[in-house]
Amino acid sequence: MEYFLELFLGGLTRGSIYALIALGYTMVYGIIQLINFAHGEIYMIGAFTALIVANVLTLNGMQGIAVLVIAAVAALVWSSAYGYTVEKIAYKPLRDAPRLSPLISAIGMSIFLQNYVLLAQTSDFVSFPSLIPDFAFMDPVAHIMSSAELVIVATTVVVMILLNLLIKYTRMGKAMRATAQDKTMAVLSGVNVNRVISTTFVIGSALAAVGGVLIASHIGQINFFIGFIAGIKAFTAAVLGGIGSIPGAALGGLVLGLTESFATGYVSSDYEDVFAFVLLVLILIFRPAGILGRSTTQKV
Amino acid sequence: MKNKNPIVQSLLISLWFVFLTFPVMVIRVNTVEDVVEWRWWNMLWVAVGAFLLSFLWRYLLARKARGPRAGSMPIAQRIAGNRKLLVPFLAGLAAFVVVFPLLFSAYQVNIMITALIYVVLGLGLNIVVGLAGLLDLGYVAFYAVGAYSYALLNHHFGLGFWLAIPVGMAMGALFGILLGIPVLRLRGDYLAIVTLGFGEIIRLVLENWNAFSFGPSGIANIPRPGLFGIELSLHQATIYLYYLMIALVLFTVFVVNRLQNSRLGRSWLALKEDDIACQAMGIDRMKTKLAAFALGATWAGMVGVIFAAKTTFINPASFTLWESIIILSIVVFGGMGSITGVILGALVLILLPEYLRAFSEYRMILFGATMVLMMVFRPQGLIANVRRRYEYHGPDEEPQAERA
């Protein structure tokens, strides 16, 4: 039972991270129908920025929660900036191109960013300081759930609620929903679509950065390649829940995280990544619209 | 941006990039000795680079917006359209290809064989991506299937190279069909992801299923291709393989060329342009797509066998996603759908990094940048695919088909 609970909580943590990254995919896909392949790289850059900033601060004698906050804010700022810039360079000139073009451009961007970090930083795994402190009140259950895991799950829940409020009640949220439904109509009603798209990229990237900082500080090491596998899995999560749907991304992330956790715990840990891919292939074949997605017929 | 002065704009862009690249480019923390390296020079490079590149970027965007200049014809087309130029050009090329292994060292020939392998892979993927418009990111899976078919059958049953070729092709086609049937119903970008997932599944299975594939340690001592039982020295075997590859390239070019203008090829083109109109015209969408997918996979399977025979050792590390991406960049860079383009693309992308060893670490970053820039500024690739067009000239004139 305890093993089960441990796997369950591990899956919950994993799923939260997937969900945070998946939101970026799903929001961008909802608005411009593009699989933003470079999204995983934004997450990786977020983790790297946090690492660099945290290391510089610690070496200058700073300690405690302040380091975590400053590093996280830096990761947010720079990830968003990267997301914004990537959109301007690689996707905006291709707004009206055939669908294959932005996709290939996105793959190119992803390779570029990976190797940019590889060349500018290092190809090795670097150890990430565990920024999240251990809470005293978690001691009795620490063998099942660590403080870091609690922080990850809690942050994810809070971020999800905030995002939902943003989408539902603000002007920008309304504009986003309008753009997702019908871009031309949104332009005609006076929505600045370019700004909406930029904002979507910024928000998505910021969420990815949150995920990046949390998971890096939980797992304890990062390298330039972490974005790739995380990106694929988050995308799986987004598809699983129904791409374009925000609650879907959250649900998809949880389902994927739990599946992986139980599959590696009870079946075999060698095939950890295979489970995600098999799940992805199965979902796309049997229910391409995802759990919460509505299937739409594509018109010409 | 409100300020239209290009210099001010470029300065702002330059500043933005300085800010953007600051943590990654400038700071590096050495965690072993706990010191921070401040690389201020990088900041300068970024600033100057971004400033200059922003001018180039604007110029290229403006040029693209102006559209192609009237009357200007790309050089490739000029050669292809003019018999006086084309015949000597082809003759010279053929002569060079024939004497190449006699003039250059085995090392050079080996590199050329690798490049030719990618030429054939590129042409195979070109059927799927360029002709049929299906983005396949797991192409390397079929390549792996071919290579492992030969390696395993040889290991267990002593199957020879020449028998392995049709087996590899059949296995490639089989996997292509098996994957294609469920997957081809999906739309473009979903297809890309599923094929990517499939490619990774194949690789991970090969890596983990030790009893079947010998895991990450791979399979060694795969025999080179035989020549009627004659013993060949290593050097001779290399030259032999080179001519084999040349023959294979010619065969592939022939097949793809014939396919392009066949009924099937036209259906691919039509399907790529408009799915629904196509079905209304009575084209079986599923069958047509499946044909493209299976044909591409067949080629990958065949090249896989040759790859195994060339290197005599294979392991899952040769079949990562990067291979798929490199093959895709070859197709995109060369020009989707264009045979000459893909051949040129493969030669440039494979040979250039080989000869520019000094830049080898920048290879992938340049790949990435090229893919983005190609899509933004020259989506048709190095050599644009020339599509056959028919023009109607009125009832008095002879109807004529011409290449435009």
| Window B:244-273, CB contacts with A under 8 Å | none
Instruction: Give contacts of A223 with chain B, Cβ < 8 Å.
Output: none
In angstroms, rounded to a whole number, what is the distance separating the alpha carbons of residues B291 and A259? 35
Identify the pLDDT of residue A299: 39
Q: In this predicted model, what pLDDT tens digit does every residue of A116-147 receive, in sequence order?
A: 888 888 878 888 777 777 777 766 766 677 78
CB contact under 8 A, B375 and A102: yes
pLDDT tens-digit profile, chain B (404 residues)? 455 788 888 888 888 888 888 888 888 877 677 777 788 888 888 888 888 888 888 888 888 777 665 545 556 666 666 667 778 888 888 888 877 777 777 788 888 888 999 999 999 999 888 888 888 888 999 999 999 998 888 888 877 788 888 999 999 999 999 888 877 777 667 788 788 888 888 888 888 887 777 777 778 777 777 666 666 677 778 888 888 889 999 999 999 888 888 888 888 888 888 878 888 888 888 888 899 989 999 999 999 999 988 888 888 888 888 888 888 888 888 888 888 888 888 888 888 777 776 666 787 788 788 888 888 888 777 777 766 666 666 666 554 554 44
Same domain, B184 and B328: yes
Q: C-alpha angle A91/A92/A94, rounded to 5°?
A: 70
Identify the pLDDT of residue B118: 92
Q: Which of B297, B267, B262, B288 is nearest to B184 (CA)?
A: B288
Among A29-38, A52-61, A184-193, B99-108, where is mean pLDDT lowest? B99-108
Residue in chain B nearest A87 by alpha carbon: B372
Same domain, B240 and B348: yes
Instruction: Give contacts of A297 with chain B, Cβ < 8 Å.
Output: none
Which amino acid appears at position A91 of this protein? Y
Q: In this predicted model, what pLDDT tens digit does every residue of A93-119 receive, in sequence order?
A: 888 877 778 888 888 899 899 988 888
Contact B155, B223 (CB under 8 A): no
Please report which confidence band the pLDDT of residue A298 belongs to, taking 50, 70 and 90 as the band edges: very low
B141 part of contact set with chain A, CB < 8 Å: no
CB contact under 8 A, A81 and B182: no
Residues 6+ apart with CB under 8 A from A97: B375, B379
Is residue B180 one of the residues assigned to a domain? yes
Same domain, B115 and B56: no
Shortest CB distance from B194 goes to which of A82, A119, A281? A281
Instruction: Give contacts of A74 with chain B, Cβ < 8 Å.
Output: 23
Identify the pLDDT of residue A281: 77
Residue in chain A nearest B276 by alpha carbon: A300
Is residue B55 one of the residues assigned to a domain? yes
Q: What is the pTM of this model?
A: 0.83
In angstroms, rounded to a whole number, what is the distance separating the alpha carbons of residues B380 and A9? 50
Given a cut of 80, whether residue A296 has pLDDT beyond it is: no
Contact A45, A208 (CB under 8 A): no
Same domain, B305 and B162: yes
Identify the pLDDT of residue B404: 42
Contact A160, A19 (CB under 8 A): yes
Cα four-point dihedral sign A264, A270, A273, A278: negative
Contact A180, A30 (CB under 8 A): yes
Q: Which of A165, A191, A164, A169 is nearest to A180 (CA)?
A: A191
Which amino acid appears at position A73 of this protein? V
Identify the pLDDT of residue B277: 85
Residue in chain A nearest B130 by alpha carbon: A100
In angstroms, rounded to a whole number, what is the distance separating the alpha carbons of residues A209 and A205? 6
CB contact under 8 A, A100 and B201: no
Q: How many CB pairs under 8 A join A and B?
A: 172
DSSP string, A165-209: HHHHHSHHHHHHHHHHH-HHHHHHTT--HHHHHHHHHHHHHHHHH
Contact A58, B32 (CB under 8 A): no
Identify the pLDDT of residue A45: 92
Main-chain dihedrals φ then ψ at residue A109, nearest 5 degrees:
-60, -40
Which amino acid appears at position B117 of this protein? I
Q: In this predicted model, what pLDDT tens digit does every residue of A172-229 receive, in sequence order?
A: 999 998 888 888 888 898 889 899 999 999 999 999 999 888 888 888 888 888 888 8
Which helix (DSSP H) or strand (DSSP E) does residue B30 occupy? strand B27-30
Residue labelled with tokens 């493209």: B292
Number of domain units in chain B: 2
Same domain, B16 and B156: no
CATH class name, domain A2-286: mainly alpha
CB contact under 8 A, A49 and B23: yes
Is residue B89 one of the residues assigned to a domain? no
- What's the domain range around B34? 6-65
B27 part of contact set with chain A, CB < 8 Å: yes
Same domain, B141 and B28: no
The CA-atom distances, in angstroms, between A121 and each of A74, A118, A158, B308, B345 are 17, 5, 33, 35, 30
Which helix (DSSP H) or strand (DSSP E) does residue A222 occupy? strand A221-222
Shortest CB distance from A108 goes to which of B182, B204, B369? B369
Is residue B78 one of the residues assigned to a domain? no
Both tokens assigned to A12: 């919950």
Is residue B161 one of the residues assigned to a domain? yes
**How would you classify the pairing of strands A221-222 and B27-30?**
unpaired
Residue in chain B nearest A74 by alpha carbon: B23
Residue labelled with tokens 């010998």: B214
Strand partners, B219: B314
Helices A226-241 and A100-120: crossing angle in degrees, nearest 10, is: 150
In angstroms, rounded to a whole number, what is the distance separating the alpha carbons of residues B88 and B99? 16
Residue in chain A nearest B182 by alpha carbon: A285
Burial degree of B353 (CB within 10 A; 0-12, 13-18, 19+): middle
Is residue B88 one of the residues assigned to a domain? no
B211 part of contact set with chain A, CB < 8 Å: no
In angstroms, rounded to a whole number, what is the distance separating the alpha carbons of residues A300 and B276? 7
CB contact under 8 A, A108 and B28: no
Identify the pLDDT of residue B103: 78
Identify the pLDDT of residue A126: 82
CB contact under 8 A, A281 and B16: no
Which CATH number belongs to the domain containing residue B267 in this structure? Answer: 1.10.3470
B328 part of contact set with chain A, CB < 8 Å: yes
DSSP SS3 for B31:
coil
Shortest CB distance from B135 goes to which of A89, A103, A284? A103
Both tokens assigned to B6: 């290009």
A140: closest CA of chain B, how far (Å): 33
DSSP string, A12-63: HHHHHHHHHHHHHHHHHHHHH----TTHHHHHHHHHHHHHHHHHHHHHTT--
- pLDDT over 90 for what percent of chain A? 15
Main-chain dihedrals φ then ψ at residue B36, nearest 5 degrees:
-100, 130
A168: closest CA of chain B, how far (Å): 28
B34 part of contact set with chain A, CB < 8 Å: yes
In angstroms, rounded to a whole number, what is the distance separating the alpha carbons of residues B64 and A271? 47
Main-chain dihedrals φ then ψ at residue A271, nearest 5 degrees:
-100, 25
Structure letter (DSSP) for residue B357: G
Which residue ranges make up each domain of chain A?
Answer: 2-286
Is residue B25 one of the residues assigned to a domain? yes
The better pLDDT of the pair A281, B170 is held by: B170
Cα four-point dihedral sign B274, B276, B277, B279: positive
As for the ipTM of the complex, it is: 0.83
| Window B:374-393, CB contacts with A under 8 Å | 374-376, 379
Neighbours of B309 (CB within 10 A): 24
Both tokens assigned to B18: 């300085």
| Window B:112-131, CB contacts with A under 8 Å | 129
B280 part of contact set with chain A, CB < 8 Å: no
Is residue B398 one of the residues assigned to a domain? no
